[in-house]
A and B are shown apart, each in its own frame.
Chain A
Amino acid sequence: MAAQVTDSNFEAEIIESKIPALVDFWAPWCGPCRAMGPVIDELAAEYDGQVRIVKMNVDENPGTPSKYGIRAIPTIILFKDGEVVEQVTGAVSKSSIQDMITKKALG
């Protein structure tokens, strides 16, 4: 199960992370977010120790999505060394996220 991050620990957990980090920005009543949730959980287990894969509830944490200009959700952002290296929106496939991680985070 992917951990949840908040506005208050985003800096420490993601920006200062020693390994790449992927954040799923979601909301409880968003249909495609419901579809993506299990995929993100699977990826968190698969990449454990290599990529920090977490979720952020935008309804409870408005500061971070505002900072990153998020509008449609789910939005998935991949960070490396505290910088955004890739961003996708919508119910994307698991393989496309794996490709993104391989090319942009682990490559």
Chain B
Amino acid sequence: MSEPKEETLHRVRNYVTKYCAKTGLTTHSMPEVTDAVVAGLANHIDTLGKPLCPCRFYPDKAEEIKSRTWLCPCEDMKKYKYCHCMLFVNEDGMPVTEHLPEGHEGIATYGVTKDPAPEKYNPPK
């Protein structure tokens, strides 16, 4: 797997900073967690042309892009403020799960975790 271009990494880091401000969330306290996801998104931009989430397995990445479901910010993030990839987390370093519907795997994994900025929760209508 090739290393992403520095300019793409820069773009993704800028996006992450802006999206944290927009949502009131933060990046993980372990820099290696954030660095891995940023590099994964940048690699997918370089190789696929889109920021496909690097925390999922896709039998066919090119096909997956067409659905747009897992392009960052993904549908889970836009609808529920939930980032399985732990790129956007609360102050405890946990993905926000309080807006998830019952039965979502995020609740099974992390329990109910609080949104530190509910005033910035604006799910699509």
Partner-B contacts on A (CB < 8 A): 25, 27-35, 58-59, 62, 65-66, 70-73, 88-92
Q: Tell me how many residue pairs across A and B have CB atoms closer than 8 Å.
A: 76
CA distance A34 to B30 in the complex (A): 9
Contact A29/B109 with A66-B59, A72-B56, A73-B57 known, Cβ cut-off 8 Å: no
Q: Determine the residue in chain A with the shortest Cβ distance to B84.
A: A72
Contact stretch, chosen from B18-26, B35-43, B116-124 = B35-43
Complex Cα gap A73–B109 (Å): 12
B residues with a Cβ closer than 8 A to A are 1, 28, 30, 32-34, 36-37, 39-40, 43, 54-57, 59, 84-87, 105-106, 108-110
A29:B57 contact, CB within 8 angstroms: no
B84 near A29: Cβ-Cβ < 8 Å: no
Interchain nearest-CB distance for B10 vs A (Å): 17
| Chain B residues with CB under 8 A of A65 | 57
In the complex, chain B residues whose CB is within 8 Å of the CB of A90 = 84, 105-106, 109-110
Q: Write out the residue numbers on chain A whose beta carbons fall within 8 Å of the beta carbon of B85.
A: 30-32
State whether B57 touches A31 (Cβ < 8 A). Answer: no
User: Which residues of B lie under 8 Å from residue A73 when comparing CB positions?
Assistant: 55-57
Inter-chain CA distance A58–B1, complex, in Å, is 12
Residue of B nearest to A32 (CB): B86
A34 adjacent to B105 (CB under 8 Å): no
A residues near B84, Cβ cutoff 8 Å: 32, 72, 90
The smallest beta-carbon distance between B31 and chain A, in angstroms, is 10
**In the complex, which residues of chain B have a beta carbon less than 8 angstroms from the beta carbon of A66?**
57, 59
Would you give the shortest CB distance from A27 to chain B, in whole angstroms? 6
Pairs of residues from A and B, 10 with the lowest C-beta to C-beta distance, nearest first: A29-B40, A90-B109, A31-B33, A29-B54, A31-B37, A30-B55, A58-B57, A31-B86, A65-B57, A34-B36
